[in-house]
Structure 1
């Protein structure tokens, strides 16, 4: 994402968040640009029954929650630290100044937003039309690229819990567990020490 040395020129501050700490809440107005130095963050919503739906996970060097900075809108989801995390933040006016004064950063932001929009489009289509096997395989394949999962001896480790897989695909945890076992029998995935590999 944006090189830290550029962000720091625009009165950026570093903030630390403990695991499960809320960074911002749904329907609040966007005031800062956030980029992850260490740790990870998820953006989520809850339905009327209290079930969580994860909009996405974000890790080191990624940013999150920036679309409302350009739209004068509120956040469409909550942001929560998945683990202890350090973020670098810059106020909205300074972020917009940064973008205006650094055309190369504008290209980075456009690519990032386009990738995220592509992910949302793909997953929306999968959730509305495809069976559980297809949904999970699409999630795994996209996540390998988007979350930069590392290839290990057994393959790409899908570093998501069964609950997170369900929250990202709209499936119940029980369905995720059954489907992964089916995919293993079909040699689509490997399970080693309860870890899923693609």
Structure 2
């Protein structure tokens, strides 16, 4: 269930520029605060919601990372999305009043903002900016999903992993958090643990990437880019 750590303060929230509400004016942000958004903490491995539940809640991630997973009838898992700080998730209820389509699980200690769908729908009725922001977020996620499916479908294993690492790290030259295990990377990229471990071992021997205490650092960005483009 998570632990309540406070009430959301949209006006002073450090991730507001990255969040759904980054485009809103002060008067609209005060309306959200009146809805008493809650800040909830979850520990690594905690389940936020499960596929098929109908909780009537929507979430914005404040810190950490979350994986969204689907399971087949045999219990095999496929990670379909990785949620980063500022991302909105659980919005199936918002768009179609549907049950959750995935199971959401914390990859590490996280904090999130929790808002009821009923309250957000009230705000949508009062603010065209909120409606536009929700539409843009949903469209952005469709584009991300399409990019992921394209790369997973077209790239061979080595290029697929290189593409993911470059995308995950972004422009940072410093170590960044990597909360995904080899197994979880495989569930996201459609690769075996053995294949991922082999590529990592090769790149670490060649000082292309470095791993330390749950972080990943790309040391030779051009080399990984060449791996992607060569396939």
TM score, norm. by length of structure 1: 0.79
Structure 2 CA distance for partners of 1:182 and 1:110, relative to 1, 3 Å: farther
How far apart are the structure 1 equivalents of 2:134 and 2:164? Answer: 23
1:191 aligns with 2:205: no
Structure 2 CA distance for partners of 1:134 and 1:150, relative to 1, 3 Å: closer
1:128-167, CA deviations, whole angstroms, 9 ceiling, x for partnerless residues? Answer: 33311232233234334xxxx46125xx757344333222
2:58·2:93 contact (CA, 8 Å) conserved in 1? no
1:167 to 175, 178, 187: 187
Q: How does 1:128-143 map to 2 (within 5 A)?
A: 128-143=153-168
How far apart are the structure 2 equivalents of 1:51 and 1:30? Answer: 24
2:12 alignment counterpart: none
Q: How does 1:11-90 map to 2 (within 5 A)?
A: 11-90=36-115
1:179 aligns with 2:199: yes
Shift of 1:26: 0.4
1:169-190, CA deviations, whole angstroms, 9 ceiling, x for partnerless residues? Answer: 11111111223455678x8x82
Q: Which moved more, 1:43-52 or 1:111-120?
A: 43-52
Q: Which moved more, 1:117-126 or 1:49-58?
A: 49-58
2:66·2:105 contact (CA, 8 Å) conserved in 1? yes
1:152 alignment counterpart: 173
Structure 2 CA distance for partners of 1:178 and 1:116, relative to 1, 3 Å: same
2:132 to 107, 113, 119: 107
Higher relative contact order (CA 8 A, sep 6+): 1
In structure 1, list runs of 5 or more residues that go unmatched. Answer: none
How far apart are the structure 2 equivalents of 1:109 and 1:140? Answer: 28
How far apart are the structure 2 equivalents of 1:48 and 1:175? Answer: 25
How far apart are the structure 1 equivalents of 2:139 and 2:35? Answer: 25
How far apart are the structure 1 equivalents of 2:157 and 2:149? Answer: 13
2:20·2:137 contact (CA, 8 Å) conserved in 1? no
Tell me which stretches of 4 or more aligned residues in structure 1 moved more than 6 Å: none
SS at structure 2 position matched to 1:151: coil
In structure 2, list runs of 5 or more residues that go unmatched. Answer: 1-18, 23-28, 222-231
Structure possessing the higher radius of gyration over alpha carbons:
2
SS at structure 1 position matched to 2:147: helix
1:4-29, CA deviations, whole angstroms, 9 ceiling, x for partnerless residues? Answer: 84532323223232221111110112
Shift of 1:112: 2.0
